[in-house]
Amino acid sequence: MRILKRNMRLLAVLFMAVIMSGVVYATAQAEVVVRVGGAGSGLGVMKIIAEAFEKSHPDIKITVMPNLGSSGGIKALLHGAVDVAISGRALKAEELKGGAVAVECARTPFVFVTNKNVDKADLTTRELEAIYAGQQLTWPDGTRIRLILRPAGDTDTTIVSSISKGMEQAVKAANARQTMILAVTDQEAVDMVSKTPGALSGSTLTQIETEKHPVKVLSYNGIKPTSETLATRSYPLVKPIYLVSTPKTSAPALQFVQFVRSARGRAILAKSGALPHAGNKRTK
């Protein structure tokens, strides 16, 4: 049922992306419009980079679409509904076969966030295993823990499951419980955390920093998530940010991709809680 709901949501958002792109093209007149969309964790920082790009490229308009998710963004790209996709994971075999080409522009700490009123600053792996397994039900002050899950096939779920063998089993147990709260998108998850007493979920530092969500970012096993601790690998949880194009991608869209990876783009990424990628590695 959850998978069906997610697929229906994805189709609805993709349809909205197509409609919005038509409206943009109809009103842009002489402007060249580049549509960017995909993983919610990268939308906030791409909006900031888009503003900087447009200042030096006044003839090109960057439109950042609503959250499509990594898979939805890549599907939209391959069907021509967006010009550049944002992905929080590497490309799958079928996406590569379809012509998608990904370049990693940054990595950001994957973080656990709580409602701002939760009296907690750090979580250990053992605590997370107990919370997801349903063995720890309250915070130290007695407040009920309200765990916000992501869909079973979501990139964030994969990251959380990979923390440990115990965590893998705990996540499966959590997804099997019918009473759990499910957030389909990155933005929906953080919004639920901000509004739900005792809530806990996963996110990224870049999303929290750029979208200014009123939530609490926790340290993990005593290590604070920052771009510096990510660089030294002392903070172990990471989510990549890929930009995906195709051999048919327009020159203006590729200009935007190049700008994201330029010194100016990397500086914005660094200020947004991300660790910019300095190389030119591409996934074909």
Query: What digits encode the pLDDT tens for the residues 12-40?
Result: 555 555 555 454 444 445 579 999 999 99
Q: How far apart are CA 128 and CA 237, in angstroms?
A: 13
Query: Which of 231, 257, 273 corresponds to the end of one domain?
Result: 231
Give yes or no: residues 173 and 198 share one domain: yes
Give yes or no: residues 38 and 96 share one domain: yes
Q: Would you state the pLDDT for residue 279?
A: 57
Give yes or no: residues 100 and 141 share one domain: no
Give yes or no: residues 101 and 16 share one domain: yes
Give yes or no: residues 81 and 189 share one domain: no
Give yes or no: residues 114 and 198 share one domain: yes
Give yes or no: residues 154 and 46 share one domain: no
Mean pLDDT of 80-94: 97
Give yes or no: residues 131 and 141 share one domain: yes
The model carries a pTM of: 0.87
C-alpha closest to that of 196 among 147, 134, 137: 147
20-29, 79-88, 147-156, 264-273: the lowest-pLDDT one: 20-29
Mean pLDDT of 251-276: 97
Q: How far apart are CA 65 and CA 76, in angstroms?
A: 11
Give yes or no: residues 117 and 225 share one domain: yes
- Domain count for the chain, please give it: 2
Distances (CA, A) of 98 to 95, 158, 247: 5, 24, 10
Give yes or no: residues 17 and 72 share one domain: yes
Mean pLDDT of 71-81: 96
- Residue 250: CATH number of its domain: 3.40.190.10
Give yes or no: residues 12 and 70 share one domain: yes
Q: Is the pLDDT of residue 268 over 50?
A: yes
Q: How far apart are CA 109 and CA 95, in angstroms?
A: 25
At residue 282 the predicted structure's pLDDT band, cuts being 50, 70 and 90, is very low
Give yes or no: residues 95 and 143 share one domain: no
Query: Which of 209, 231, 253 corresponds to the end of one domain?
Result: 231
9-18, 70-79, 256-265: the lowest-pLDDT one: 9-18
For residue 85, what are the domain limits?
2-107+239-283
Query: Which of 213, 231, 249 corresponds to the end of one domain?
Result: 231
Q: Would you state the pLDDT for residue 280?
A: 46
CA end-to-end span of the chain, whole Å?
34
